[in-house]
Structure 1
């Protein structure tokens, strides 16, 4: 074969061409052929468990806007990672995930570390999956996976690679480029613009796609042209709108009656970059049968298909929002009143979550990125720690715990030198705590705030809403997060009262490497949803 190279050489050249020279991994014997003679221009980021590895890659991809490469160990390693593969799918994070497979010659005999039908293992929560039929097809399969991952809506892809394929001969791949964005239908945009112009009291519901597509300024300009209030969609995994803006109305709870009540006064609903709607509790959403016009603009065809009401306009927000704005004129309607802001919470012992976030808001550097996984404290965070800047907030869209701490590591690697603040509940922290080791190894400027209410606070809240009593497995006594962090090379402090809180937060925010602050907070049951 003329002009041949090895599969490994062709793959390394492809990864360079695709900008995937940072590799997140947890290695094993089936990956040694790929890792052999590691090139100096590649960075290998080691995670100590595969779920952490995938979340690190997810955070890196979402923060950078580029696909991240993730290398796992066999089917067992992929199995460890599946929770965060599901989260990456819900986050629409562009990942190319590979896993080693046993040698092709051994596969007919069900060998140790061999996987039957490996390509099916992560389905349906990958956009595309493959185990190449021939060794020489591996680089082409990885290229295919990359281009699918980077088509909107972004998402993870998977390639299973037999361990003896890396040394096989193949041909180099030519460089390729593909378009990411699809323009929405101009006729439907014109219909939407006409309906907006005729509406007396329109409202916007904005989701994470706006930030993911760097379309935030265009969304703000559109809202200001319409002088319409803006709600953040339920479970919004990125910033939806600057939360100190006068048009920002607040955050939708994932409850049908609450959303219906908030939207009832409006005669048109425009949903940008979000489903219609993500619910967590059962109930009737009267909006769906009210006849209120609803328009939805999203790159996600599945979200449009699942809406069940309104007019769906599929296409890129980056292209669609300026095109829609160009069809509108400045509204002369009176802007809505600004939402009421909560009073500063008082210091108390034990510390309230509200007081913790209020103090953090005073100290947080403007350029800091907040990564959150404290579900029971989310209402307190939203009330007292407003997010103002695009690209400044991340959480998971799936509801699966164990994402945000390793994702914060990936985000820190994508933004060298930028302060990253991970706000993690004590229950969430124990899912992927080994990510602290990776943060320490890379000396990342990562502040970890463990909000410790000694249990699964969200479960306490749901127990109240659902009328259940005596539920086991909710309390988490006896965890020492400072000791756990120190054992992985990350210094830490524990705060039990308000007097030393600000001092501890300030110390962690200026520490050059990672530092953990464990804050013991009031274990009172939070209100996430009302029974009605």
Structure 2
């Protein structure tokens, strides 16, 4: 970037090039002109003479802000920029910042800080340990020693966020830094895709070629690395059975493919049982494995060997068994395909067909999901946060296209509705369907206001089963008797129609299976957002 290009963004009425000018110039060169935020006093100077070619995307609460930025970054493949208000704003945002970290979402958070001159006096709205507050759920955090160092810190943050495994970063900027003089900073080309070790790939390729009953376990990084074609080619070359890794936050293989074999649970013993027929297991773009409950016994079937392709050296380091190759998933799949010379093998047994869900009164959550599958187009985007309906979704709402499914890898609620807003902003050419539970919908409902303000094509479908039904199911894991009441899981008296209308979003309630398909079509065909409250049988 030349001096002339950089200084073209200098503040109106001033010949001095400032920290603010330098940061906006960097953002232009990084290809991003949106800032997701909720304003506070320590951020105001950042937005003095706000550039005409930038957009401030307002969220009504910081968790909603970060969720929108997460969806936008995942949909566009580029880091999103977020502005949060000092310690309080970062604290409000931490739940979805944690989700962004687990989602491996590239995100640059610029947090406000009080003026440098009064920081020694514990000022109002000061963040006493600004760089420590978001840890360990950021890849990098810094409060630059000098105002002049802020642009360099922002540049380093962006490069770090974009380097695999991607993730959020934070730069704390004192309020008086933005008007200080700065030097233009040239943008550098930094590779974000690193090839795995060829020797490690050769070991995996040899074992895969010799296997009789191979299984692939796919995770979110296949979709993140745009590796669907490579994944399909390798799978079909080897007639491998394909399973989805536990808690995969994106879809990495078409769930209607003849070689698809379903979803692995987050339980050691059940994973071993489901993979028992295989002598070779290749985990691709996922940990091996994510567990939700304590388990006993072996991590894989005794007759199998495990191998792993991952972008994340930390994930490779804690895998309890197996051989790992660290690097780009797409490049790793290409490397294995180049060495493919499989032994003669039969295709795996066919997956049992799923029986249709009958129409009942009240409706089941499974019937709602089945109806969504019947009405939506294959390339409509699904954003999901309905934990109690996830198993039913696996059976009745198959995902069959790349870049069409997003959920949170963290298990924390409040991601789905704002993420749908961000995804819709990043992919304005697509229709977005947000499937959210009634409990989940209460964590970041402010997203409805942002969806309405942006007039985004999102259909929010709230599956209202009157409680935290996932907790009811999970109580059985801990040995609760079926008739023992569980505290705090019932949600009576909620009015989602009023909630939507209060945020400027049209809404309709549907309780009859006869009306459901038509209402969903209406939501999908209507320009702008709509909330559909689907009343289903109680889960509590």
Instruction: Please give the range of the TM-score, normalised by the shorter of the 2 chains.
Output: over 0.9
Q: Distance in 1 between matches of 2:513 and 2:281?
A: 43
Q: Does 1:491 align with 2:503?
A: no
Map of 1:261 onto structure 2:
273
Paired residues for 1:293-372 under 5 Å: 293-329=305-341, 332-372=344-384
Map of 1:379 onto structure 2:
391
Paired residues for 1:47-446 under 5 Å: 47-288=59-300, 290=302, 292-329=304-341, 332-446=344-458
Alpha-carbon displacement from aligned partner over 1:457-492 (angstroms, at most 9, x marks no partner): 111111222133332110000111011101111011
Alpha-carbon displacement from aligned partner over 1:95-126 (angstroms, at most 9, x marks no partner): 00011001111111111100102111000100
TM-score (norm 2): 0.95
- How far off is 1:366 after superposition? 2.3
**Secondary structure of the structure 2 residue equivalent to 1:241:** coil
Q: Distance in 2 between matches of 1:235 and 1:367?
A: 22
Q: Does 1:501 align with 2:513?
A: no
Q: Distance in 2 between matches of 1:449 and 1:41?
A: 34
Greater displacement, 223-232 / 263-272:
263-272
Q: Is the 8 A contact 2:119 2:126 kept in 1?
A: yes
Q: 2:475 aligns with which of 447, 452, 463?
A: 463
- How far off is 1:288 after superposition? 4.5
**Secondary structure of the structure 1 residue equivalent to 2:109:** strand
Q: Does 1:452 align with 2:464?
A: yes
- How far off is 1:285 after superposition? 4.8
Map of 1:36 onto structure 2:
48
Q: Is the 8 A contact 1:218 1:322 kept in 2?
A: yes
Q: Is the 8 A contact 1:417 1:445 kept in 2?
A: no
- How far off is 1:19 after superposition? 1.3
**Secondary structure of the structure 2 residue equivalent to 1:259:** helix
Structure 1 stretches of 5 or more lacking a match? Answer: 526-532
Q: Is the 8 A contact 1:341 1:383 kept in 2?
A: no
Greater displacement, 282-291 / 502-511:
282-291
- How far off is 1:291 after superposition? 6.2
Alpha-carbon displacement from aligned partner over 1:34-64 (angstroms, at most 9, x marks no partner): 1111111111110000001011101111111
Q: 1:472 aligns with which of 476, 479, 487?
A: 487
Greater displacement, 6-15 / 358-367:
358-367
Map of 1:27 onto structure 2:
39
- How far off is 1:245 after superposition? 0.2
- How far off is 1:344 after superposition? 1.3
Number of positions where the alignment pairs a residue of Structure 1 with one of Structure 2: 524
Alpha-carbon displacement from aligned partner over 1:153-211 (angstroms, at most 9, x marks no partner): 00000000000000001111012110001111101111111111111111110100000
- How far off is 1:240 after superposition? 2.3
Q: Is the 8 A contact 1:371 1:423 kept in 2?
A: yes
Map of 1:529 onto structure 2:
none
Map of 1:522 onto structure 2:
537
Question: RMSD of the alignment, in Å?
Answer: 1.3
- How far off is 1:260 after superposition? 0.4
Q: Distance in 2 between matches of 1:143 and 1:488?
A: 36
Greater displacement, 151-160 / 491-500:
491-500
Q: Is the 8 A contact 2:70 2:419 kept in 1?
A: yes
TM-score (norm 1): 0.97
Alpha-carbon displacement from aligned partner over 1:63-96 (angstroms, at most 9, x marks no partner): 1110000001111000000011110000000000
Q: Is the 8 A contact 1:225 1:331 kept in 2?
A: no
**Secondary structure of the structure 2 residue equivalent to 1:52:** helix
- How far off is 1:504 after superposition? 1.1
Map of 2:29 onto structure 1:
17
**Secondary structure of the structure 2 residue equivalent to 1:119:** coil
Alpha-carbon displacement from aligned partner over 1:279-320 (angstroms, at most 9, x marks no partner): 101112523583631110111111111101110110101211
**Secondary structure of the structure 2 residue equivalent to 1:321:** helix
Q: Distance in 1 between matches of 2:211 and 2:232?
A: 19
Q: Distance in 1 between matches of 2:49 and 2:271?
A: 56
Q: Distance in 1 between matches of 2:297 and 2:122?
A: 51
Greater displacement, 435-444 / 215-224:
215-224
Q: Distance in 1 between matches of 2:113 and 2:539?
A: 49
